[in-house]
Homo-oligomer: A and B are copies of this chain.
Amino acid sequence: MSNPIYALILAGGSGERFWPLSRVACPKQLLRLVSEKTLLEETVARLDGLVQRERIVILTNVEQETAVRKLLGHFPKENIIAEPAKRDTAAAVALGTGWIAGRDHAAVMLVLPADHRISDGDAFRKTLALAAQAAEETGELVTIGIKPTWACPGYGYIEQGKPIRLRNREELEGVHRVVRFREKPNVDLAESFLRKGNFRWNAGMFVWSVPTVLSEFNRHAPELADFISQLRAPGEFDRVLRERFAKLPRISFDYAIMEKADRVLVVEAGFDWDDIGSWRAVANYFQRDDQGNAANCAITALDSTNNIVFDDNGVTIALLGVHNLIVVRTNDAILVCHKHQAEKIKNLIGKLPPELH
C-alpha cells in the first residue's frame, strides 16, 4: 500500500426493529445487544491496527449526535459528522468522500456499516487489507462478499465471476470479478443461488481509492459529484453540508453507483458476520435453557418454550405457559410480541406516544 487508508463508518440508521430498546435517538448501532460494547464501538475497535483513529470519519444524524459523541468521547470532534437530514446511502457516501478527499486526494477508503456483528477482528482486518490492495492496484470498486449460510430473501446477492490475482498474492485468495448484483430475490431464486455456489451476500462494505469513486460519481451521479467538489473547497465543508445536504436525492449507493459501474471486484470475507436483523437474531447470542427459552438475563420459566427474553436492568422475568414470545423490558416500556409478528414492530411504534419513539 502506498496511500493511507481512511474509513467511513455509516452510523445513521434508525433500527426500529429493536423497540423498546432502540429509539429514534438510540438505534441498533448504539445498543449493547450481544456484548458489553455497542455495535458502533465494536466497529471502531475492529479498525485498530488497520486505520489510524484520525482517519476514521463517523456519520450520524442530528437525533443521535449527542449519544454518539458521548459514546466516542475520545474521538476528534471533527471526525463525527451529523447529517442534517435523512437522505439515503448515496448522499452519505458522497459526504464521507468529500471529508476524506479534502484530507488526502489519493487515499484508499473503506465504507463500513456500524451495526453488524463480527467477532474475528484479525480475519476482518486481513480481508479488508486485501480489499484495499485490490482497490489500489486495480482502480476498481471493491465490495466484500459474505458466504451465504441460508437462502435469505431479504439480502442483496453478488454473483462472483472469474478470480483475479494481485501482486505478491496467490491466485485463490478470494478476489473475483463481480458479474452482477441481485437485490432481494424470492426464496426459490435465493435457493438456486446457494446451489450454484458462486453467490455472496452484499454486506454493504465497500473499498475503493478516492480517484476511483470520484470518477464513478462523475459518470453516474453528477449532482453528488458536484456536492463532493464543493465540500473539498478550503473552509467550505460546514457551510456546504448545512446548505446542500438536505436537498440531495434520496437514493441508495448500490442503486446510484454500484449497479451501474462497469468493473467491480468482490473480496470474500474471511470472517464471521451477522447483521443481527431482529430480536430472533439477537437471541442466538443468549443462553438457552432446555426448553428453548433464550434470555440475556435470569428468567424463571414453567411450561414455557422457545421464548426470547431481553432485559437491560436486572429485573426478573417469569414465564408461565407461554410459547414463541419475545419479551423485552426497558426502564420505561415493555414489549410482549409473538415471534411471527416481529416484523410489525415498526407498525406498532406508529401507535405509541411520540416520547417512546
Given the complex of chains A and B, what is the CA–CA distance between A322 and B348 in angstroms? 13
Point out the residues of chain B lying under 8 angstroms from A353, CB to CB: 298, 300, 316
In A264-312, the 8 Å CB interface with B consists of: 298, 300, 302-303, 311
Say whether A347 faces chain B, with CB atoms less than 8 Å apart.
Answer: yes
What are the residues of chain B within 8 A of A338 when measuring CB–CB?
A: 320-322
Knowing A303-B341, A348-B300, say if A332 contacts B319 (CB, 8 Å). no
Please report the total number of A residues contacting B with Cβ < 8 Å: 37
Do A321 and B341 form a contact, CB below 8 Å, given A316-B333, A327-B334, A334-B329?
yes
A334, chain B: closest CB distance, angstroms: 5
**A351 CA to B291 CA in the complex, in Å?**
15
User: What separation, in Å, do the CA atoms of A340 and B322 have in the docked complex?
Assistant: 10
* One of B300, B329, B345 near A320 (C-beta < 8 A): B345
Give residues of chain A (330-357) contacting chain B, Cβ–Cβ below 8 Å.
331-338, 340-342, 344-345, 347-348, 351-353, 356
A-B contact pairs, 12 of them (CB 8 A): A20-B318, A300-B353, A303-B341, A303-B344, A315-B334, A316-B356, A317-B336, A318-B333, A320-B335, A320-B341, A320-B342, A327-B334
Q: Which 9 A-B pairs have the closest CB atoms?
A: A321-B341, A321-B338, A320-B337, A316-B333, A302-B348, A317-B334, A318-B335, A300-B352, A300-B351
